[in-house]
């Protein structure tokens, strides 16, 4: 009887430890491995000419667009944001925007270029994304008519 009790107790310890290790590992992987891919249709992008007439530092770019799922078939959310022109010569902007998707929103900040792709920082979020960090790849499609937003969330 005593032997059975000891075996039962030891088995319980092993099962508990195994369960906790498994959950800890899944928790860590869940925090580092999430990717969210949406496609923005850049239909409302507007440049506001401030300061010197024409393309100049300080000009503004605003938008509020729909985003589609990664197959570019179904509306998956929307976004809104703005950029400030940094260097016309280098074709650089500094931007921030929020992207609303099912369950919450994700905010990003970083560089946008006239002629090449970039990676922005994920600065936070709301709802299901309230604790996120990570980065977002920004890839131009069809000459800037659309953009891939690939969130690598940690």
| Residues within window 69-128 making contact with other proteins, judged by CB under 8 A | 80-82, 96-98, 105-107, 109, 123-127
| Residues within window 5-44 making contact with other proteins, judged by CB under 8 A | 5-6, 9-10, 12-13, 16-17, 20, 27, 31, 44
* C-beta of 59 vs 147, nearer to other proteins: 59
Per-residue interface string for the shown chain with other proteins, residues 134-153, x marking contact by CB under 8 A: --------------------
Q: If we measure between CA atoms, which residue out of 16, 70, 33, 7 comes closest to residue 154?
A: 33
- In angstroms, rounded to a whole number, what is the distance separating the alpha carbons of residues 58 and 68? 30
Q: Is 146 helix (H, G, I), strand (E, B) or coil?
A: strand
Is residue 50 part of the contact set for other proteins (CB under 8 A)?
yes
- Residues in Cβ contact with 98 at an 8 Å cutoff, skipping those fewer than 6 apart: 79, 80, 81, 105, 106, 107
- In angstroms, rounded to a whole number, what is the distance separating the alpha carbons of residues 131 and 49? 36
Residue 119 beta carbon to other proteins: minimum distance, rounded to whole angstroms: 17
Which helix (DSSP H) or strand (DSSP E) does residue 47 occupy?
strand 46-48
Q: Is 108 helix (H, G, I), strand (E, B) or coil?
A: strand
Note the residue count of the chain: 154
* C-beta of 60 vs 72, nearer to other proteins: 60
Residue numbers of the site for other proteins (CB under 8 A)? 2-3, 5-6, 9-10, 12-13, 16-17, 20, 27, 31, 44, 46, 48-50, 60, 62-64, 80-82, 96-98, 105-107, 109, 123-127, 129-133
């Amino acid at each position: 009887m005593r032997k059975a009790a000891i075996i039962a107790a030891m088995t319980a310890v092993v099962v508990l430890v195994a369960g906790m290790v498994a959950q800890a590992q899944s928790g860590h992987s869940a925090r580092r491995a999430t990717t969210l891919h949406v496609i923005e249709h850049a239909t409302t992008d507007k440049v506001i000419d401030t300061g010197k007439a024409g393309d100049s530092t300080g000009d503004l770019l605003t938008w509020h667009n729909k985003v589609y799922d990664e197959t570019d078939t179904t509306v998956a959310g929307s976004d809104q944001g703005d950029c400030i022109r940094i260097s016309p010569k280098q074709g650089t902007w500094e931007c921030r925007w929020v992207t609303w998707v099912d369950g919450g929103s994700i905010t990003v900040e970083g560089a946008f270029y006239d002629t090449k792709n970039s990676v922005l920082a994920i600065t936070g979020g709301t709802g299901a994304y309230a604790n996120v960090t990570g980065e977002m790849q920004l890839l131009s499609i069809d000459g800037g008519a659309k953009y891939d937003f690939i969130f690598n969330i940690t």
